[in-house]
Chains A and B, each alone.
Chain A
Amino acid sequence: MKQPVSTLEHLALTRRELLHRCGMGFGALMLGELLRMAGCLETAQASESTSRLNPLAPKQPHFPGKAKRVIHLFMNGGPSHVDTFDPKPKLAEYAGKTLPFENLKTERKTGAAFPSPFKFQKYGQSGIEVSELFHHTAQCIDDICVIRSMHADVPNHEPSLLLMNCGEARQIRPSVGSWVVYGLGTENQNLPGFIAMCPGGYPIQESQNWQAGFLPGVYQGTYIDTKHTTIEKLIENIKNHHLPLKQQRRQLDLLRQMNEEYQKRRQEDAQLEARLQSFELAFRMQMEASDAFDISKEPQAIRDMYGPGTQARQLLIARRLIERGVRFVQVWHGEGQPWDSHDDLEVNHRRLAQQCDRAIGALLRDLKQRGLLDETLVIWGGEFGRTPTVELPQPGANAGKVNGRDHNHWGFTMWLAGGGVKGGYVYGATDEFGFQAVENKVHVHDLHATILHLLGFDHEKFTYRYAGRDFRLTDVHGRVVKEILA
């Protein structure tokens, strides 16, 4: 007989159903434990049956992963790699001249070579060159693995955001964070397992960026507008405006007694018990969540290290969340597409980097000091990079200015830190002008395969059956970039 592996339509064994089905009692549980410890089990994929009882309970991946949690710093809009982490002196040589080859096709027409207005210098033991824009981040360069050969499929925001977040440019697919929480659960049941923070509103493509797709809705990222500072604006229904905690506790005590009485009169049913427990969790969550988002509890020295402003606040919150066992935190730079510098690149990139550079550097140091960096994978990047050539003026687009760059999916930079990647390491390269990835190319699917690998998943076996198919984050693609593993 066929045995369902993981599908919504097959789900829903209760705890007891399962025990009976196995024809085993408590001894069987011990057997299961042993098997699990021996690593024989693909528990991540099999969790579906129990997911309705507690879909967020911690689970084991396919093999022990070096990374236990993820912080994804999303520079939405597309930061320019030739102005940040991928120096191209050759551009200065060609300044104002056409490149020796035809400009690759991007969203809009571009013209002559546009040398970076920013200074690069070597940092750290590794001597990796980084521009002045990320001077603070560069202090940690020996913990950072710079991938200079990223590439994606198209030069447009929407499909590229979906590709970067969900591994597919158009169709409905779960986001990386949803996959990860589906596979690993989360370590703190008092907080959401996947949190997406973006100050001021949504990025382009909105909450699809952290969608659960066909996975259960509980795996979707919880969106938090970090422009706000009060807890009830941050998390829905986290606070009762009518009852103090003491009175609410009394309500829950009565509720517990009533629910227990109801259960006692019935044969065992795991969903009754699960629902009873969920109120206790929720009660604790009210305190824990408030605490996690309250950065005033941080010592002054730490707050100073991150600096002032919204970016600093949300990065510090990210660390507090990670520290409390939240599995996946995505930190967006801001509403819309802030890094999209079609014009005035020098002014805009400088302003944007100033908002976040110091806090990113602080985050890396802070994680390291606390011993969290080893198990936390930090990812930095946008949905693509920008052209090394200047964008030509276009009516309605850039107001006649000739000082910005167009989108570039042919080649761009992302960096990873912690979580089992090589620090102080550069992987791959773009051509001498930075237009296209040419050496050791890393597609977004490859990045996803690598992230899953770092977390302990074989991306080809990490599947979810939906509509008759076993879906993967990487679909039929993806190569683990073994070269960057520590």
Chain B
Amino acid sequence: MSQRFGAALLALVGWLAAASAQEATVKPSFAPEAIEHFEKRVRPVLIEKCFDCHGPKQQKASLRLDSRQAVLKGSDTQIVVVPGQPEKSLLIEAIKQTGELKMPPKGKLSEEDIAAIEQWIRDGLAWPEDTPPADLEAARKHWAFQPVRVVHPPSGKSLEALANPIDAFILARLESEGLQPAPSADRRTLIRRLYFDLLGLPPEPDAIAAFLEDDDPAAYERLVDRLLASPHFGERWGRHWLDVARYANERGYVGVNVDRTYPFAYAYRDWVIRAFNEDRSYKDFILLQLAADQIVTGPDKRDLAAMGFLTVGRRFINNQQEIIDDRLDVTFRGFQGLTISCARCHDHKYDPIPTKDYYSLYGVFASSQEPDELPILEPVQRGPQTEAFERELRRLEEEKARFERENEAMKRERPREFSEKIKPFENRIKQLHATHPGAPPRGMVLLDAPKPTEPRVFIRGNARNPGPGVPRQFLEILSPQGRKPFTSGSGRLEMAQAIASESNPLTARVFVNRVWGHLFGRGLVRTPSDFGTRGEPPTHPELLDYLAARFMEEGWSPKRLIRLIVLSRTYQQSCEGDADGYRKDPENRLLSRMNRRRLELEPMRDAMLAVAGDLDPSFGGQAVDFLKNGRSTRRTIYGFIDRQNLPGMYRIFDFASPDTHSPKRYETTVPQQALFLMNSPFVIERARKLAARLDAEELTEPRLRIRRLYHLVYGRDPRSEEVDKALAFLEAAEADRSESQLSPWEQYAQVLLMSNEFVFVE
């Protein structure tokens, strides 16, 4: 049954998709070679030689040549191209300059270019996608490019009593669709939900008991405030941001036998965690990650670590264009929900992002560089290891100095040999700075180059084929009328300011939507990193704007935003809605119930450590390689992330790919996940620790032990039939105990850790 079901289901989805694809476009089809010819030989010529007068900006003689339709339409007086017949096409006469009309006016095209255009007409005017040119004025009408509106929550009789404006928006919509919200979840469910959503950890049984007993109406609110103030909050929400930032601890493949680690990536990770804990304004959060080098001026250099956002990406065997593209992509998908990389080779096909804008911003990063020596993030906090580090450093420096003293002659006479011989000494010092636990952290910064680059468009994205020059400036679609080029250095700070601005229609919306998505499982816009015309429109546009406006008004405070959302009744709903809601709104776009969510890798692993009682709660510091250091019980966020060879545990549990910006985690279910839970030394060890916890608490009576396990793992009492089943299992396991290296209780504890109730949050 289930297999056939699956196949049929696929079929249905396919049918829906195919039907809609047909609706969308009816396009003439061209041979791939013809398209390739157009893209390689014709389009660049049109862009370079024709578009200035016959493109988006100007249409002399009402002629534009930037879409197939426009070319076919011709000028205001005549047809200029007859597909298939270059000899009858006015365009050819004009570019051959044989008749009266001579184009382009500034000079004749090369014979090759003319031949290419003739061939293109002979091919029937091949054009890959018949999309109309992205007309800026029309594009501005797209909802996401409209200014954030001031919206008031809907009012009405049933809505007046609502304390939280979010509920007014949600309820008004539900009512209009004739749907009911789900009842509030019970308090056990709520506290577990809050703990995982805000801290990524399960509530301790004591915390649950205290919350259940607290009948103050403000108990829930107090709980929220307590969790928001916990240092674990930053670890949970910082990790969400690290997905956006494609964070990893190494640079990817850059050759064999080359050290690939980023020794100071951890400083960025710790900065992000701290920023969430300290509730830094999101505006500063943006500015610092893009341009801390130009903001941090005082003696406290810790904020320089923020620039890891730009620099912890993959290095593509040090290919400069790819590195810059990666930085543009992470910045614009991350902060703006715009896929500007699409404009690297040609104007964006769907959004108003011309290639010129891409290279304007490319110029910003091309004008920024990494220093040879990364700055120390002063003031250095002296820790127990600091002295050991300084001792070791002195020793290595003395060694090096001694070598220099003893080889002064070589230094003078054979400088090349000397520099070769001194290298190991230098490397040892470098290595010490990078790896000693007492070494001060450094910031992975970018700095402005002494002389900024004047960017040029790379035609078809090919750096060897530079086209017209462009100024370094912000995207036109997000700029006020009369956009001005950046004036200060690379322009990176100005770019950051244009993003972190109240008048930017995307910045607040994109962030608010990400926060919503982390709390509900899905954003109001279900394409969190694509707010362009191909993304999905918001399910609740007014609510999105309300939240975005309020977020900005309240100082861009992430904690206030999260607080507002989790205090809503909408957030506190049960996952069990009424049947009507499932039928009318199966995807739960209208939120007539809460979404059930499976724990991601980090909260799952952390929760196992927590319930087993051996979570190491210490904060920050150099990354721990969990594979090499299997006994580490640090939180998962502190693990070493090897992007080149991402270990199985990360891959199978749908960890955010550290290769590029990750808008949302996948949620797959595969047997390798089950194998990890059944067989991995990590889980076996947790089962042992969990059982040992009962012994340490001197619980002997089996029923009490079962009850305690339920409290620890699920946060509730077992039902009597659950106790019976457990006892039966334990008895059977006792009978053949000699065959196994795990005690009955350890076996049983492992079952609890594998269960659905443990890994789903309701």
B725 CB within 8 Å of chain A: yes
Q: Are A2 and B596 in contact (CB-based, < 8 A)?
A: no
Interface size class of B (residues with CB under 8 A): 35 or more
Interface centre among A52, A243, A248, A274, by most B CB within 10 Å? A243
Q: Are B14 and A278 in contact (CB-based, < 8 A)?
A: no
Q: CB < 8 Å: which of A16, A43, A170, A202 contacts B14?
A: A43
Query: Which residues of chain A have C-beta atoms less than 8 A from B586's C-beta?
Result: 13-14, 16-21
B167 CB within 8 Å of chain A: no
Q: Are B674 and A16 in contact (CB-based, < 8 A)?
A: no
Distance between Cα atoms of A271 and B5 in the complex (Å): 15
Q: Are A271 and B669 in contact (CB-based, < 8 A)?
A: yes
CB contact under 8 A between A479 and B32, given known A8-B663, A52-B667, A237-B678? yes
B12 CB within 8 Å of chain A: yes
Query: Which residues of chain B have C-beta atoms less than 8 A from A42's C-beta?
Result: 14, 17-18
Q: Are B9 and A32 in contact (CB-based, < 8 A)?
A: yes
Distance between Cα atoms of A269 and B692 in the complex (Å): 34
B258 CB within 8 Å of chain A: no
Distance between Cα atoms of A412 and B32 in the complex (Å): 24
B664 CB within 8 Å of chain A: yes
Query: Which residues of chain B have C-beta atoms less than 8 A from A477's C-beta?
Result: 32, 36
Q: Are A52 and B317 in contact (CB-based, < 8 A)?
A: no
Distance between Cα atoms of A259 and B757 in the complex (Å): 7
- CB neighbors of B among A146-204 (8 A): 158-159, 170-172, 189-190, 192, 202, 204
Nearest to A50 among chain B residues (CB) is B9
Distance between Cα atoms of A30 and B657 in the complex (Å): 38
Interface centre among B11, B582, B664, B675, by most A CB within 10 Å? B11
A233 CB within 8 Å of chain B: no
Contact indicator per residue, chain B 643-685, by CB within 8 Å of chain A (1) or not (0): 0111010111011010111011011111111111111100010
Query: Which residues of chain B have C-beta atoms less than 8 A from A56's C-beta?
Result: 670
Query: Which residues of chain B have C-beta atoms less than 8 A from A35's C-beta?
Result: 11, 14-15
Q: Are B670 and A218 in contact (CB-based, < 8 A)?
A: yes
Q: Are A49 and B13 in contact (CB-based, < 8 A)?
A: yes
Q: CB < 8 Å: which of A9, A243, A478 contacts B536?
A: A9
Query: Which residues of chain B have C-beta atoms less than 8 A from A29's C-beta?
Result: 4-5, 8-9, 12
Q: Are A254 and B751 in contact (CB-based, < 8 A)?
A: yes
B736 CB within 8 Å of chain A: yes
Nearest to A480 among chain B residues (CB) is B32
CB contact under 8 A between A46 and B587, given known A243-B740, A281-B674, A285-B675? no
Q: Are B644 and A12 in contact (CB-based, < 8 A)?
A: no
Nearest to B33 among chain A residues (CB) is A479
Q: How many chain A residues touch the partner (CB < 8 A)?
A: 119
Q: Are B536 and A10 in contact (CB-based, < 8 A)?
A: yes
Nearest to A6 among chain B residues (CB) is B17
Q: Are A278 and B673 in contact (CB-based, < 8 A)?
A: yes
Q: Are A250 and B5 in contact (CB-based, < 8 A)?
A: no
- CB neighbors of A among B2-44 (8 A): 2-21, 24, 32-33, 35-36, 39
Nearest to B681 among chain A residues (CB) is A241
B331 CB within 8 Å of chain A: no
- CB neighbors of A among B733-762 (8 A): 733, 736, 739-742, 747-748, 750-751, 754-757, 759-760
A380 CB within 8 Å of chain B: no
Distance between Cα atoms of A469 and B342 in the complex (Å): 7
Q: Are A467 and B341 in contact (CB-based, < 8 A)?
A: yes
Contact indicator per residue, chain B 599-614, by CB within 8 Å of chain A (1) or not (0): 0000000000000000
A468 CB within 8 Å of chain B: yes
Q: Are B253 and A217 in contact (CB-based, < 8 A)?
A: no
Query: Which residues of chain B have C-beta atoms less than 8 A from A402's C-beta?
Result: none
B329 CB within 8 Å of chain A: yes
CB contact under 8 A between A251 and B747, given known A42-B17, A467-B341? yes
B368 CB within 8 Å of chain A: no
Instruction: Give the shortest distance, in Å, between A156 (CB) and chain B (any CB).
Output: 9
Distance between Cα atoms of A192 and B675 in the complex (Å): 12
Interface centre among A217, A236, A243, by most B CB within 10 Å? A217
A263 CB within 8 Å of chain B: yes
Q: Are B575 and A33 in contact (CB-based, < 8 A)?
A: no
Q: Are B671 and A189 in contact (CB-based, < 8 A)?
A: yes
B528 CB within 8 Å of chain A: yes
Contact indicator per residue, chain A 377-419, by CB within 8 Å of chain B (1) or not (0): 0000000000000000000000000000000000000000000
CB contact under 8 A between A21 and B587, given known A217-B651, A240-B678, A258-B755? yes
Distance between Cα atoms of A159 and B733 in the complex (Å): 55
Q: Are A217 and B666 in contact (CB-based, < 8 A)?
A: yes
Contact indicator per residue, chain B 339-356, by CB within 8 Å of chain A (1) or not (0): 101100000001100000
Distance between Cα atoms of A171 and B740 in the complex (Å): 49
Interfacial residues, chain A to chain B (CB-CB below 8 A):
2-22, 28-33, 35-36, 40-43, 45-60, 158-159, 170-172, 189-190, 192, 202, 204-208, 211-214, 216-218, 220, 236-244, 246-248, 250-252, 254-255, 257-259, 261-263, 266-267, 269, 271-272, 274-279, 281-283, 285-286, 336, 460, 467-469, 476-479
- Mind listing 30 A-B residue pairs with CB under 8 Å? A3-B16, A3-B17, A3-B21, A9-B530, A10-B527, A12-B667, A41-B18, A42-B18, A46-B16, A46-B17, A57-B7, A57-B10, A158-B317, A213-B659, A217-B668, A240-B679, A242-B684, A247-B742, A251-B750, A254-B748, A257-B725, A262-B755, A272-B760, A274-B669, A279-B678, A281-B671, A282-B671, A285-B671, A467-B329, A477-B32
| Contacts A8-B663, A18-B12 supplied; 10 other A-B pairs, CB < 8 Å | A7-B527, A45-B17, A204-B256, A206-B645, A208-B253, A217-B650, A236-B676, A237-B676, A254-B748, A267-B582
5 nearest A-B residue pairs (beta carbon): A3-B20, A468-B339, A17-B586, A282-B674, A32-B11
